[in-house]
Amino acid sequence: MPPREGTYGLLAEFDTPGDLVRAARQARQDGWRRLDCYTPYPVEEAAEAIGFHRNKVPLVTLVGGLMGLAAMFSLETWISTLAYPLNIGGRPTYSWPAFIVPAYEWTILFAGLSAAFGMLALNGLPALYHPLFNAPNFRDGATTDKFFLCLEALDPKFDLKETKVYLESFQPVSVVEVEY
Amino acid sequence: MATSEVKINDPGIDPATGEFRVIAPGQTFRSVTEKIARIVLTPTTPLGWFALFGIGGAVATMLLVAVVWLFLIGVGIWAITQPVAWGFAIINFVWWIGIGHAGTLISAILLLFKQTWRNSINRFAEAMTIFAVVCAGMFPLIHVGRPWLGYWLLPYPNTMNVWPQFRSPLLWDVFAVSTYATISVVFWYIGMVPDFGTMRDRAESKVAQYVYGMLSMGWRGSVRHWMRYETASLLLAGLATPLVLSVHTVISFDFAVAVLPGWHTTIFPPYFVAGAIYSGFAMVLTLAIPLRKFYHLEGLVTERHIDNMGKVMLATGFIVGYGYGMEAFMAWYSASHWEAFMFWNRMFGPMGWSYWVLVTCNLAIPLTTLWSRKLRTSIPFMFFISIVVNTGMWFERFVIFVTSLYRDFLPSSWGTYRATKWDYMTYVGTLGLFTALFLLFVRFLPMIPMSEIRMMLPGAKIKAKAAAEAGD
């Protein structure tokens, strides 16, 4: 568990996504690993800059979809052949073409739910508390029109004074310390 | 047509392309956020909202009365009997589901095709989908006669040792519609999470902060989150696209699998899907045109959107027209006496008027006028067209169900269909319910996706030059 007191990190505020990406890329090049960017809309370049290239959402979705497919198709087969076989106009009890439709729908249902809830789980959401919201300028900016770079205290390179000077070299609007 | 004059020096037109702009010039991240968030976060609700909500609520109450009476007496209060055993309930079900389809088309298919103009209309189109599915889903449930046993449709272990029959298209419907409703709600909600974060951070009242805070689930805009979020949105769009095509296809199987002349045809799945999109876009226009006026959103929902929706309607309208043509052709080409009679009776029989209403509203008026860009960008005209097409599509369902059923193989079993006041009250009541739900959405949720609008603003893109300067 990370420490729950003291400094979470230093938060630099930028006016444009370009400034943010430049700073994030430089920080990553200088060896920072515990860092994150906060933007009011997805900025792919910022994710690339901090070395976040791929995620597991597609895998979760695929597994979910296959589970839905297998679950519904086996349920239909079991019901129609063993649990409750019905003679409908002399058609075979194992009428697999007719079973495709519900199995198809459940593939989509399970895949969709896995994509949505898998994404939230991987993001660690819902989260009732996060230290960043203690920063005075974060709430007004991060969800409206400002771009933030946060260098976290857990990074071995972190030092309150030196890191502040380092962040200020990117000419941000402001650098603030974020407490837990 | 003074309102539709297209001027070259109109500030709404992009000189580079000659097209109307997707967003009016001069908007910033903050200005769009404020404009959209203020509609919801304002402490004063416009009087017009209360007036409309009052009307919608009153009409929805009529639905409540009709449904209570239905539950007390039974489906005998409707006009359904032999030979027309499927009446208003099924017409309305298919009509409402079809309307919902445009929302999914806008949110999913146009996202996959990277049609960014859709961003400003996608949220309320999705809301329209959900409320349309709510209205649609009610009809089969109340039509089963004993709706409190509706759960019998689902496969679950029970003391009767009975299981559903998976070879019936009616059961396929259960899975298609329930999946469609679930995925639409999830897609809609996930799309709103970042905007809920914005609302949370901008709300002034404690209650609003608390509620939007819970809804936003602690969204903080981390780029790692954003990347997973974008992947999930894209995957949901990719899943919703085959889903939306399958839902109306499955619904059309309810008819196409039957051996009745007028239903037993392979053109039904594509023709139902195209018709669904046709009526859905008409409903989006019916909602968007008053909304942009009332909330002064002309800068975000521009003539470009209206124009593009007109083009989609033109295309789907022609597919629908092809469907009608094919039905007529097959009635002749099949050389089946019953098919030919059904079609003749559909056009010239005692209920033939409904066929000509359909042809007028779905083909004659829209497909001759939507070619004109001048008319497509004329707001009053497009509102008129949207009402016409919605009416036409309702009559299409009426024609398919009633005129295929009321004169079947034996003249001795011929009948007619005349809807009762309870049928009308239920139908009109769902329009009220839809209006009331939509007004609640507009009042309490961000109706335009702020984060997606920000992406389309001039400052959002990182200049290639700036990226090159940073090395890499």
Which residues on chain B are in Cβ contact (under 8 Å) with A112? Answer: 182-183, 186-187, 235-236, 239-240, 243
Cβ–Cβ contacts within 10 Å for residue A54, how many?
10
pLDDT tens, residue by residue, B139-186: 988 988 888 888 888 999 999 889 999 988 989 999 999 999 999 999
SS3 track for chain A? CCCCCCEEEEEEEECCHHHHHHHHHHHHHCCCCCEEEECCCCCHHHHHHCCCCCCCHHHHHHHHHHHHHHHHHHHHHHHHHHHCCCCCCCCCCCCHHHHHHHHHHHHHHHHHHHHHHHHHHHCCCCCCCCHHHHCCCHHHHCCCCCEEEEEECCCCCCCHHHHHHHHHCCCCCEEEEEEC
Contact status of B236 with chain A (Cβ, < 8 Å):
yes
| Residue of A105, A125, A150 to mutate, interface with B, max B Cβ within 10 Å | A105
Which residues 112-171 in chain B show a CB within 8 A of chain A?
Answer: 155, 161-167, 169, 171
Which residues on chain B are in Cβ contact (under 8 Å) with A140? Answer: 201-202
3-state secondary structure at position B51: helix
The residue among A137, A64, A45, A129 whose CA lies nearest residue B226 is A45
Contact status of A86 with chain B (Cβ, < 8 Å):
yes
Contact status of A114 with chain B (Cβ, < 8 Å):
no
In whole angstroms, what is the distance from residue B136 CA to residue B143 CA? 11
Contact partners, residue B163, CB within 8 Å, separation at least 6? A79, A83, A84, B155
Contact A140 B218 (CB under 8 A): no
Which of A17, A36, A57 lies closest to B235 in CB terms?
Answer: A57
In whole angstroms, what is the distance from residue A104 CA to residue A173 CA? 52
Which of A17, A55, A109 lies closest to B227 in CB terms?
Answer: A55
Which residues 120-159 in chain A show a CB within 8 A of chain B?
Answer: 120, 122-123, 125-130, 132-133, 138-140, 142-145
Number of CB pairs, chain A paired with chain B, less than 8 A apart: 213
Amino acid at B358: L
pLDDT tens, residue by residue, B256-311: 988 888 888 889 999 899 999 899 999 999 988 998 888 888 888 888 889 989 99
In whole angstroms, what is the distance from residue B302 CA to residue B325 CA? 35
Contact partners, residue B20, CB within 8 Å, separation at least 6? B12, B13, B14, B302, B303, B304, B307, B377
Which residues on chain B are in Cβ contact (under 8 Å) with A132? Answer: 220
Contact status of B64 with chain A (Cβ, < 8 Å):
no
Cβ–Cβ contacts within 10 Å for residue B359, how many?
18
State how far the alpha carbon of B362 is from the alpha carbons of B14, B285, B305, B391, in Å: 32, 15, 21, 8
In whole angstroms, what is the distance from residue B296 CA to residue A130 CA? 36
3-state secondary structure at position B50: helix
The distance of Cα B358 from the centroid of its chain, to the nearest Å, equals 19
| Residue of B156, B223, B452, B454 to mutate, interface with A, max A Cβ within 10 Å | B223
Measure the CA dihedral B310/B316/B317/B321, to 10°.
Answer: 170
Structure-block tokens of residue B277: 């999109």
Contact status of A26 with chain B (Cβ, < 8 Å):
yes
Contact partners, residue B140, CB within 8 Å, separation at least 6? B89, B90, B93, B173, B177
In whole angstroms, what is the distance from residue A112 CA to residue A69 CA? 12
Contact status of A55 with chain B (Cβ, < 8 Å):
yes
In whole angstroms, what is the distance from residue B308 CA to residue B110 CA? 12
Contact B236 A43 (CB under 8 A): no
Contact status of A39 with chain B (Cβ, < 8 Å):
yes
In whole angstroms, what is the distance from residue B439 CA to residue B48 CA? 11
Contact A21 B470 (CB under 8 A): yes
Please report, in angstroms and rounded to a whole number, the separation of the first and last CA atoms in chain A: 13
Show pLDDT as tens, one digit a residue, over chain B (472 residues): 344 444 555 667 776 666 777 777 777 888 888 888 888 888 888 888 999 999 999 999 999 999 999 999 988 899 888 888 888 989 999 999 999 888 888 888 888 888 878 888 888 888 999 999 999 989 988 988 888 888 888 999 999 889 999 988 989 999 999 999 999 999 999 999 999 999 888 888 889 889 999 999 989 889 999 999 999 999 999 999 899 889 989 999 989 988 888 888 889 999 899 999 899 999 999 988 998 888 888 888 888 889 989 999 999 999 999 999 999 999 999 898 889 999 999 999 899 999 999 999 999 999 999 999 889 989 999 999 999 999 999 999 999 999 888 888 888 888 888 889 999 999 999 999 999 999 999 889 988 888 888 888 877 777 655 555 544 4
Which residues on chain B are in Cβ contact (under 8 Å) with A116? Answer: 186-187, 189-190, 232, 236
